[in-house]
Amino acid sequence: MPQPGSVYYREYLRLDKILEAQELESAKHGKPAHDEMLFIITHQTYELWFKQIVFELEAIIDILDDPVVQDKKIGRVLHMLARITKIQRILIEQIEVIETITPLDFLEFRDLLVPASGFQSIMFKQIEILMGIRKENRIAADCEFFKTRLSFSDQALLEEVEERTNLLELVDRWLTKGPFDRFEGFTFWKMYRDAVDKMFKSDEDIIRSNRTLTDREKDSQVEEMLKTRDRFDSLLDKDKFECRRAQGEFRLSHSGFLAALFIHLYRDEPLLYTAFRLLTLLADVDGLFTRWRQRHMVMVQRMLGTKIGTGGSSGQDYLSQTTNQNRVFLDLFNISTFLIPREDLPPLPANVRRELGFFFRGPDAS
């Protein structure tokens, strides 16, 4: 066993480096701006939390990148994803601290920051890439900024990160390899299609028999229903699904998406609940990053109005576009489209229920 050494608090935390890392640009120009200290510390704190998120994501990826993912390690993945969501909530709340800087006070040092920009946060870019955002998923301005706003060394680092297998790809592979919707003698998807046909027939009957609607309104509602029906048909036809996927409507593979849907439909089965929790936490992480981007966008609009950002972006407009575009696990939100009521779910055969349940056999059991 290693023996305790003479570790000193200040030295262990490298506080000499951390607490001396705040140099005010305004002070260098002879007019120290009081609020610049808060601005620096807040952003340094963000970078430390980003580093921790990268640390957690890399550990999760290491587990899921195993050719055979051990079931017992999924619990560890759940724990790390939950930790990330706790950090994300701190990131969102931290915006309230930086908002104590008024727009007029920000102007005292804002121009001294050009061309530095939050876009140049390499830690956050690593988070996006590790999650599953590729160049082809980004808006044009985002791709251009990679070439013009980042140093060559940072570009090289991000290129290296992008070459790795990302979390989205690994989750899709895990879903595809899992036996979540494949059981001998159980033709689930045929039964699901029959349940969907019944659901849409019922929906159309309700619309047609609604006396409060005009014939034109009924036709309009039926037309919208048929559009949703077309999406269901695409779900159950691999070629149609992959065509929509190529157009960007889906990011999970056909088999991966079907497995995720099956998990959601039968989440109450004991052996599926862990998988459901994993998918739920992935959606939480994606949703909280979206909320953080939205909150950041509102803060930037409050501070800058319609001015351009210090890095040359269109400011609030740029942030609005990336908020909508830089989603990773949107499939896990849209999966709700394909859920059907519990009472309409095809009943699981006894042998399938046994495979998905916990059963204890006593010593006298045969």
What confidence category does residue 13 fall into, taking pLDDT thresholds of 50, 70 and 90?
A: very high
What confidence category does residue 306 fall into, taking pLDDT thresholds of 50, 70 and 90?
A: low
What confidence category does residue 344 fall into, taking pLDDT thresholds of 50, 70 and 90?
A: confident
pLDDT at 180 over 70: no
CA 145 to CA 155: how far, in whole Å?
Answer: 10
Q: What's the average model confidence in pLDDT over 281-301?
A: 92
Q: Can you name the residues that pair with 186 across neighbouring β-strands?
A: 183
Just give the CATH number of 9-356.
1.20.58.480
pLDDT for residue 137: 80
Q: Give me the percent of the chain exceeding a pLDDT of 90.
A: 59
Query: In this structure, is the dihedral angle defined by the CA atoms of residues 14, 19, 24 and 28, taken in order, positive or negative?
Result: negative
What is the number of other CB atoms lying within 10 angstroms of the CB of residue 78? 16
pLDDT at 54 over 80: yes
Residue 163: both structure tokens together: 């070459």
How many alpha carbons fall within 13 Å on the CB side of residue 134? 10
Q: Which is nearest to 315 in space by CA: 328, 302, 324? A: 302
pLDDT for residue 280: 98
The DSSP line for 229-296 is HHHHHHHT-HHHHHHHHHTTS--S-HHHHHHHHHHHHTTTSHHHHHHHHHHHHHHHHHHHHHHHHHHH
pLDDT at 245 over 80: yes
* Rounded (10°) CA dihedral 126, 171, 55, 318: 30
Q: What is the DSSP letter of 101?
A: S
CA 295 to CA 95: how far, in whole Å?
Answer: 8
Residue 272: both structure tokens together: 């599926």
Supply angle C-alpha 272, 275, 279, rounded to 5.
Answer: 135
pTM for the whole structure = 0.88
C-alpha distances in Å from residue 278, one per residue of 142, 260, 268, 296, 302: 30, 10, 14, 27, 36
For 340, list phi and psi in degrees, rounded to 5.
-125, 155
Question: What tens digit of pLDDT does each residue of 308-337 get?
Answer: 555 444 456 767 777 777 889 999 999 999
For residues 149 and 117, is the Cβ–Cβ distance under 8 A?
Answer: yes
Residue given tokens 């951390």 in the structure block: 18
CA 181 to CA 257: how far, in whole Å?
Answer: 11
For residues 257 and 250, is the Cβ–Cβ distance under 8 A?
Answer: yes
What confidence category does residue 171 fall into, taking pLDDT thresholds of 50, 70 and 90?
A: very high
Q: What is the DSSP letter of 183?
A: B
pLDDT for residue 361: 45
pLDDT at 176 over 60: yes
pLDDT for residue 308: 58
Query: To 10 degrees, what angle do helices 270-304 and 71-98 make?
Result: 20
> Worst-scoring range by mean pLDDT, 46-60, 171-185, 292-306?
171-185
For 183, list phi and psi in degrees, rounded to 5.
-140, 140
Q: Which is nearest to 256 in space by CA: 181, 315, 187? A: 181
CA 51 to CA 49: how far, in whole Å?
Answer: 5
Q: What's the average model confidence in pLDDT over 267-272?
A: 88
Looking at this protein, which amino acid is placed at residue 120? Q
pLDDT at 150 over 90: no
Q: Can you name the residues that pair with 183 across neighbouring β-strands?
A: 186
Q: Is the peptide bond before 115 cis (omega within 30 degrees of 0)?
A: yes
CA 65 to CA 173: how far, in whole Å?
Answer: 9
pLDDT at 34 over 90: yes
**292 Cβ contact partners less than 8 Å away, ≥ 6 residues apart:** 88, 91, 92, 95
Q: What's the average model confidence in pLDDT over 331-355?
A: 87
CA 131 to CA 176: how far, in whole Å?
Answer: 18
pLDDT for residue 316: 64
pLDDT at 252 over 90: yes
Q: What's the average model confidence in pLDDT over 31-37?
A: 95
Q: Which is nearest to 245 in space by CA: 265, 231, 225? A: 231
Q: Give me the percent of the chain exceeding a pLDDT of 70.
A: 91
pLDDT at 119 over 90: no
